[in-house]
Structure 1
Amino acid sequence: MTHNTDLPDVVPIFPLPGALLLPRARLPLHLFEPRYLAMLDDALKTPQRLIGMIQPNKVPGRSGSGLHTIGCVGRVTQFSETEGGRYMITLAGVSRFRLIEEVEGFTPYRRARVSWAGFERDQGPEEGDTAFDRGAFLQTLSQYFDSQDLQTDWDSLKEADDELLINSLSMLLGFEPEDKQALLEAPCLSTRRETLMTLIEFAMRGGDGEGMLQ
């Protein structure tokens, strides 16, 4: 496991709207732009193989970089080349970070100086959620899936640990980027679960989710 003291002060960053990576979760990505292929190549040359996922910030005046201030770094654990020199990779979430400033340089991709302070829990053991009413949650989730005409493997959902269930749904469900950011910034698993439930219930009431949790 990568620990806080092993994490670098500067990381390559991949701004991607709606893409959510959480600690101890896995995010598949398809890389094809030359700058991100260069980013992958450089990351693979380092011992930690880290790439920082961060969302663009659509709200004027909040961030001079045009990015949200909190993202999550992941370690490249799998990669394979596809046709045309494209790559499919998997990032394993390591820790969230706070963006301090962008770093100028000669790379075609963006890099940022970051702080890991306040996110020490991200590199610890899996979180539990003692207040989690799994039965009620799955019932609401079933209603949501019906309303969105979605299918899933319910046996796997029922058997998944609390963190895997909540984080996987947070990453996979089609919420607005600002709402994904709220899920990322949730300080603990129970807060993320409450935020997730709010988003699900809002969607079932017919809300479009635009800017809901800014």
Structure 2
Amino acid sequence: MKSVIRLGLCAAALWGGAALAGDEWNQPAYGGSGVDDQSYMPAKETGSDKGLYVLLGGGTEGYTGDLAPDLNAGFAYGATIGYKPTRGLGLELGYNGGLTDIDTFGPGGAADGADIIRNGGQAAITVGLVPTRLQPYLMGGIGIENHNVRGLSPLAGYQDDTSGYVPAGVGLRYNIGTLLTADARVSYNIPFDQDFAPISNDIWNGRYQALLQLGGTY
């Protein structure tokens, strides 16, 4: 009789433990249909957090193609606000800018400080590649930017200009705890209708940018 009671108590304990564990495991996996047991995984392993995120940071940017010999790489800065409706998809609006010296006019450029101050804004989509909290992603979108040329007359070949560009890049995002987010991305920006420099609008006459941003997901 005692053995039967012990077995009954053990069965009850196991049943209760399984019910509690079910709450942890009954979370749809990244991309899962939620139909069978194989599409479930622990909540703590569901990957990059969903929700609103805000990022702020800095890095470097430079120019390629015919622009590369004349324009030195310089400091870049950026701010991003976005929303992830799923753990794989992100929709974001970003502000970014950069400071550039024109190498033709010596190490210090043509003006005190940066010769070209660029400011721009863009709308982009990010697509996560794997269902992990450390998540690599692809990024693409469209943007508009303004180049403010300082210390030079238009006769030098450089002038103030507002133009468009298409950003395309890759990134790596990590959610630290429940709030902090770190994001590193590298993008190549293809210009169109660009006239700030004496070059043709060509896919190779573009701009690259590398940013490290920190912020939070809420």
User: When the two structures are superposed, what TM-score results if normalisation uses the length of structure 2?
Assistant: 0.23
Q: Greater strand percent: which structure?
A: 2
Q: Greater helix percent: which structure?
A: 1
User: When the two structures are superposed, what TM-score results if normalisation uses the length of structure 1?
Assistant: 0.24
Higher relative contact order (CA 8 A, sep 6+): 1
